[in-house]
Amino acid sequence: MGKDERVKVYILTGFLGAGKTTVLNSLLRQFSGHNNIVIENEFGKVNIDAGLITEKIDQLYELTSGCICCSLDNDLLEVLGNILQKEERPDHVFIETTGIADVGNIIGMFHMPDVQRHYELVSTICVVDAENIFERLQQVPEAGKQLSCADVIIINKIKQLAVPQLIYLSQQLEQMNPLAFITTSEDGFVPLKELHFPEKSIGATIAPVAPVKHPHKVNTVLFESPEAFDLNMLVFVLDLHFNAYPDQLYRIKGYVRIKDTPERMLVQSTGKYLHIQPAGEWGSATPSSTLVFIGKELKTPTIQRILTPALRK
């Protein structure tokens, strides 16, 4: 039989903030020299993740009109079609799903005969936040579905756990998905030679699905302001509310303008930790702040009320 010339596809899944983009950067670094395309899907209207891809890629497609798991007649199929029109076919396509995607629906697309003819789904990789996965499994059903569909599970952020806890977590995940290859990483680094992609993706057993629109219980709130934040006040209000509502607020990310700071600052929060770090010049963009909040039943007026005192007067 001839060599399989189809484009190789890797789906990256995992709950909000688990480390999907971090793992993606690590994979791209290790696949450098190949022709790599990334498809980024963000739950909200604004795609922050696109700016977090630090490695060289051939093209980035951003899908921000909703969660690609929710319908089949959607932008993903269009993008897969567009990729085939390119002069040079890519070697790999990496699809980073939203942190709440029902990945079964996306896997199902790769069993549609027209898609399967050109694309080979190599693996569905689920990234797990070692520290908060148990909480998330209780709070959000999608987190369990992501694990059960995975061919490879990467337990990330392992320094947050003691060894016995890590062994316990690994055993629990193995029970949830005995077919998956389970490995660990810190800062998303897994050497490619240690990644065992199964002969046949578990997704091979998932039939193409009918287009379903299922409302996720998770929602996003976008906060935008041209004004600069006071850094200390911003840290204070975000820390305060993240600690007060860990069951409701799962993720904060975005870029902000900080008083007396010429650079733009990247804000990331995934649970207990808040990181605000320099993220380069504003370039031609007008300095302003864009923060995406992702959680359960979040309300725009509440987020505005929380953040407004931190804006520079």
* Contact residues for ligand GTP, defined by CB under 6 A: 14, 16-22, 49, 52, 99, 156-157, 186-188, 251, 253, 268, 270, 275
**Closest by alpha carbon to 139, among 236, 265, 251?**
251
- Nearer CB in complex with ligand GTP: 124/156: 156
Minimum CB separation from ligand GTP for residue 15, in Å?
7
Q: Which residue is nearest to ligand GTP (CB)?
A: 99
Instruction: Give dist(CA 193, CA 241) in Å, integer.
Output: 42
Minimum CB separation from ligand GTP for residue 112, in Å?
26
β partners of residue 59: 37
Instruction: Give dist(CA 241, CA 135) in Å, integer.
Output: 18
- Nearer CB in complex with ligand GTP: 185/289: 185
DSSP SS3 for 40:
strand
- Nearer CB in complex with ligand GTP: 115/169: 169
**Closest by alpha carbon to 271, among 133, 112, 156?**
133
| One-letter amino acid of 32 | S
- Nearer CB in complex with ligand GTP: 16/109: 16
- Nearer CB in complex with ligand GTP: 19/295: 19
- Nearer CB in complex with ligand GTP: 16/122: 16
Minimum CB separation from ligand GTP for residue 170, in Å?
16
| Contact partners, residue 48, CB within 8 Å, separation at least 6 | 42, 253, 254, 255, 290, 292
Minimum CB separation from ligand GTP for residue 48, in Å?
7
Minimum CB separation from ligand GTP for residue 280, in Å?
16
- Nearer CB in complex with ligand GTP: 94/115: 94
Minimum CB separation from ligand GTP for residue 219, in Å?
14
Minimum CB separation from ligand GTP for residue 220, in Å?
10
Question: Which helix (H) or strand (E) is 277 found in, with range?
Answer: strand 274-278
Instruction: Give dist(CA 122, CA 198) in Å, integer.
Output: 8
Distance from chain centroid for Cα 144: 15
| Contact partners, residue 105, CB within 8 Å, separation at least 6 | 69, 70, 72, 209, 212
Task: Give me 160's structure tokens.
Answer: 């947050």
**Closest by alpha carbon to 88, among 152, 35, 19, 142?**
35
Minimum CB separation from ligand GTP for residue 288, in Å?
21
Task: Please answer whether residues 270 and 16 qualify as being in contact, where contact means their C-beta atoms are separated by less than 8 angstroms.
Answer: yes
- Nearer CB in complex with ligand GTP: 112/161: 161
| One-letter amino acid of 121 | L
